A and B are shown apart, each in its own frame.
Chain A
């Protein structure tokens, strides 16, 4: 078994990052101009990296599939962004934030990385504030905070329920400044279809121009993937519908290991599915659990209107089961608890797949105005979508696929197993272990891009200053382009009868049923077979009208679904391999008598990094053993 080198610097936890920075190699300004960097993605991770690298003087090429970088999915993040500022004097610190994330991730994240992200969190807030991001403020003029699940301090900075929008637009502005200076060139409506490796190093990408259909070659000294998560593998999820795993998956097939693919966060509070046409699930931010109380009726199949069910006949099951954290338990715990209530017949709404999130007490205590000020746009959103006014009637919510802790394996430098290929933001696996705490993705994506990658990529590029611009007529580019074109031709040639979306829906259903909120061996094995069968049907009966020389959205979808079939198999393989329950990965065979996740630290305290072995071949598992030197490993309890 190959030993993965995570390159964690020596030294005390709190000094590792400073020591790394002190020893990292630098590139002088004159040389930076000669070095090209490709950044794929313009979400918080990609746009922050592209702008920070542009500021340093590198030549940056930045890609996204949307028509404008401002539309990357980070724009949809709602509730907030964490930092260890301790503005509330409530006992917060960098160590506390680090500890909460390690515990929240159920001891499956790497200590050094998590400590570093906690360390830079304060810089992120300073930067956003200076960039004019209008975070909520107190009357004294300072920044306000709120609480999120799984923690006992208030460390979340927010801009109403639109924190992601505000952070992303702030970052889009920093990006635009670099575009105006010519250090960053923006390539919108481009989809990366493959990564080009020359002499063992990532040297470029093959891209489809989504307007003209042209296949373009782009080269660079290093490539950064910031392509987000793969939650849309479930078809219905809280992600933007075009989100996809294709670029990361192609990197995997070219040699980048994929870590913990089955670690997927199912978010407890989404608006439930209302009908079969639905294309998307809308999140109701976790911040609502600051003031909302979750309950179901104490009797099964109670069809009364929620407002008619008296207090004593309501089961506030989170407060009952987890008195210490109550409604603010972490997401995996809250999701499973909702599923348990619904599966046993206490669910509400027409499908029985929903629970109530009730603001009655908060409105009575704080007044409608205060609630409106905090959550106005979320209440409005709920009202628009469901037609129900949450100021007078409790919201109905149910878990939905939301965030992928799994992703490309990276070392401390955020470099994948392919030299010169970096992965940041949600596309990598690193910082959240088996479960992400709320408001820590915006922190991680921005921290990765603004404050971490610029150091680590320079350390890599310092050895590359003598390499001239990489020519795109090298045979490796030729070959990669050929493979991309052949796949497009193959997809178009099927000329079957079923749409890419119909396959996606069926794939999503399989994954949701067998590799979603809870898993078991029998189900996973069954799912594996079902995915394989469906994939074969896809390659025989897919319908794509039109050709490749124009905008062809069906072709775009088909490519993404084709990659999802392969990723689905890897997710299932990973879920089967991990014979324990940890965080969001709940294997029914491994639980405590109270139904809590039962870890097996002796055998599974590792990151499962999978190496691609070829189509339909069993991938090779590499284990990165996790060591906890600075926290005591405990049973995670929120009781």
Chain B
């Protein structure tokens, strides 16, 4: 298979980036997208050129490192998966594939396809935890939790912090990401104690860092590789307003 790759190249955070177009003819349909990029990079290196820098690690959809905006979609055209799970089966011979980094004010590009997502850590640092010291925990089964709550908390907790929701949103809002953590803890008795402070601090931090407002376009949910539901956003809004009035 042969493809045309239109890739965003940017030397570093200060440099002005631009698209470069390359043809690459060593594509096999059974390659993953990142394996295609590996092979393409090998070609660049052999030609004495700099390979394309991109984030990746686990290559199995769980670490949240990979982050390519492919043909107008974060993680590419197939829904419910990360870039590392995207297969070249989904592309046609001769197709032009456009590859960009995440675009958001809060995620500055630092090289080629790599962005700085430390703003996500900042939000979690603001309140995404339960304040219990090591050694202070009660016996695990002394905190019974309904299966329904445990399952819902689990569904919210599987966010991998990739940032696709922000990249997908025209406002670059981080609501889906933040609401997932707020919901996980709001649904569990262990998390209720600090629920009010948590939601207030995390939302304030999110606003501070330059993420946009949510205008209910649902683009985040559609592009989230882990199917985090926008019902989390509704839950967070309820938590937030009840915190404000109490």
Chain B residue numbers with a CB within 8 Å of A180 are 125-127
Interchain CB contact under 8 A, A126 and B64: no
Chain B residue numbers with a CB within 8 Å of A172 are 124
User: Quick one: which of A135, A165, A551 contacts B158, CB cutoff 8 A?
Assistant: A165
Which residue on chain A has the smallest CB distance to residue B126? A180
User: Quick one: which of A55, A279, A502 contacts B133, CB cutoff 8 A?
Assistant: A55
B246 at the interface (CB under 8 A from A): no
Chain B residue numbers with a CB within 8 Å of A87 are 141
Interchain CB contact under 8 A, A179 and B35: no
Interchain CB contact under 8 A, A76 and B53: no
Contact with B along A263-284 (1 / 0, CB 8 A): 0000000000011011110110
Number of interface residues of A (CB under 8 A): 79
A173 at the interface (CB under 8 A from B): yes
B185 at the interface (CB under 8 A from A): yes
User: Quick one: which of B48, B125, B131, B154 contacts A160, CB cutoff 8 A?
Assistant: B154
CB contact under 8 A between A279 and B34, given known A134-B150, A134-B157, A240-B59: yes
CB contact under 8 A between A132 and B42, given known A73-B57, A551-B110: no
Chain A residue numbers with a CB within 8 Å of B129 are 131, 173-174, 176-177
Cα of A215 to Cα of B229 in the assembled complex, Å: 43
Q: From residue B54, how far is it (CB to closest CB) to chain A in Å?
A: 8
Interchain CB contact under 8 A, A130 and B143: yes
Chain A residue numbers with a CB within 8 Å of B144 are 140-142
Interface segment, one of B17-25, B111-119, B215-223, B233-241: B111-119
Chain B residue numbers with a CB within 8 Å of A126 are 137-140
Interchain CB contact under 8 A, B60 and A550: no
Q: From residue B51, how far is it (CB to closest CB) to chain A in Å?
A: 6
Q: From residue B159, how far is it (CB to closest CB) to chain A in Å?
A: 9
Chain B residue numbers with a CB within 8 Å of A278 are 35
User: Quick one: which of B51, B59, B60, B161 contacts A553, CB cutoff 8 A?
Assistant: B51
Cα of A85 to Cα of B139 in the assembled complex, Å: 10
Contact with B along A239-250 (1 / 0, CB 8 A): 011100000000
Interchain CB contact under 8 A, B157 and A176: no
Interchain CB contact under 8 A, B190 and A131: yes
B45 at the interface (CB under 8 A from A): yes
B134 at the interface (CB under 8 A from A): yes
B71 at the interface (CB under 8 A from A): no
Residues facing B in A531-587 (CB within 8 A) are 543, 545-546, 550-551, 553-554
Which residue on chain B has the smallest CB distance to residue A546? B50
Interchain CB contact under 8 A, A70 and B64: yes
User: Quick one: which of A279, A283, A384, A554 contacts B85, CB cutoff 8 A?
Assistant: A384
Interchain CB contact under 8 A, A66 and B150: no
Interchain CB contact under 8 A, B81 and A240: no
Interchain CB contact under 8 A, A241 and B56: yes
CB contact under 8 A between A275 and B28, given known A132-B185, A282-B60, A545-B51: yes
Interchain CB contact under 8 A, A129 and B134: no
Residues facing B in A37-95 (CB within 8 A) are 48, 51-52, 55, 66-71, 73, 75-76, 85, 87
Cα of A584 to Cα of B11 in the assembled complex, Å: 46
Q: Which of A134, A136, A277 has the most CB of B within 10 A?
A: A134
Cα of A496 to Cα of B110 in the assembled complex, Å: 28
Cα of A165 to Cα of B138 in the assembled complex, Å: 23
Chain B interface SS verdict (over half): loop
Cα of A502 to Cα of B41 in the assembled complex, Å: 12
CB contact under 8 A between A138 and B58, given known A279-B34, A545-B50: no
Chain A residue numbers with a CB within 8 Å of B161 are 68, 70-71
B147 at the interface (CB under 8 A from A): yes
Q: From residue A117, how far is it (CB to closest CB) to chain B in Å?
A: 16
Chain A residue numbers with a CB within 8 Å of B35 are 277-279
Cα of A139 to Cα of B28 in the assembled complex, Å: 48
CB contact under 8 A between A67 and B116, given known A55-B134, A165-B62: yes
Interchain CB contact under 8 A, B63 and A138: no
Interchain CB contact under 8 A, A129 and B137: yes
Residues facing A in B47-95 (CB within 8 A) are 48-51, 53, 55-65, 81, 85, 89
CB contact under 8 A between A176 and B124, given known A134-B157, A139-B147, A553-B51: yes
Which residue on chain B has the smallest CB distance to residue A283? B60
Q: From residue B161, how far is it (CB to closest CB) to chain A in Å?
A: 6
Contact with A along B141-156 (1 / 0, CB 8 A): 1011111001101100
Chain B residue numbers with a CB within 8 Å of A551 are 12, 53, 110-111, 114
Interchain CB contact under 8 A, A240 and B58: yes
Contact with B along A457-501 (1 / 0, CB 8 A): 000000000000000000000000000000000000000010101
Cα of A501 to Cα of B42 in the assembled complex, Å: 9
A362 at the interface (CB under 8 A from B): no
Cα of A76 to Cα of B118 in the assembled complex, Å: 21
Cα of A381 to Cα of B49 in the assembled complex, Å: 35
Interchain CB contact under 8 A, B34 and A71: no
Cα of A130 to Cα of B142 in the assembled complex, Å: 10
Interchain CB contact under 8 A, A177 and B116: no
Contact with B along A143-178 (1 / 0, CB 8 A): 100000000000000011010011001001110110
A127 at the interface (CB under 8 A from B): yes
Residues facing A in B160-186 (CB within 8 A) are 160-161, 184-185
A30 at the interface (CB under 8 A from B): no
Cα of A423 to Cα of B151 in the assembled complex, Å: 36
Chain B residue numbers with a CB within 8 Å of A497 are 46
Q: From residue A211, how far is it (CB to closest CB) to chain B in Å?
A: 6
Which residue on chain A has the smallest CB distance to residue B123? A176
Contact with B along A314-343 (1 / 0, CB 8 A): 000000000000000000000000000000
B31 at the interface (CB under 8 A from A): yes
Interchain CB contact under 8 A, A169 and B56: no
Interchain CB contact under 8 A, B62 and A173: no
Chain A residue numbers with a CB within 8 Å of B46 are 497, 499, 543
Cα of A132 to Cα of B198 in the assembled complex, Å: 14
User: Quick one: which of A68, A240, A501 contacts B120, CB cutoff 8 A?
Assistant: A68
CB contact under 8 A between A132 and B62, given known A173-B129, A546-B50: no
Interchain CB contact under 8 A, B157 and A499: no
Cα of A451 to Cα of B133 in the assembled complex, Å: 12
Interchain CB contact under 8 A, A451 and B134: yes
CB contact under 8 A between A75 and B58, given known A173-B130, A278-B35: yes
Q: From residue A84, how far is it (CB to closest CB) to chain B in Å?
A: 12
A1 at the interface (CB under 8 A from B): no
Chain A residue numbers with a CB within 8 Å of B132 are 127, 130-131
A520 at the interface (CB under 8 A from B): no
Ranked 8 nearest A-B pairs via Cβ:
A141-B144, A130-B137, A173-B129, A129-B140, A134-B154, A126-B137, A280-B59, A71-B63
29 contacts between A and B (CB under 8 A): A51-B134, A67-B118, A68-B118, A68-B161, A70-B64, A123-B137, A126-B137, A128-B140, A130-B136, A130-B137, A130-B190, A132-B184, A132-B188, A132-B190, A132-B191, A142-B141, A162-B158, A177-B131, A180-B127, A240-B58, A240-B63, A241-B59, A277-B30, A277-B31, A278-B35, A282-B60, A384-B81, A387-B89, A545-B45
Given contacts A180-B125, A384-B61, 9 further A-B contacts (CB under 8 A): A76-B58, A126-B138, A127-B135, A132-B190, A279-B38, A283-B60, A499-B45, A551-B110, A553-B53
**Which residues of A approach B to under 8 Å, CB–CB?**
48, 51-52, 55, 66-71, 73, 75-76, 85, 87, 123, 125-132, 134-143, 159-160, 162, 165-166, 169, 172-174, 176-177, 179-180, 186, 188, 211, 240-242, 274-275, 277-280, 282-283, 381, 384-385, 387, 450-451, 454, 497, 499, 501-502, 543, 545-546, 550-551, 553-554
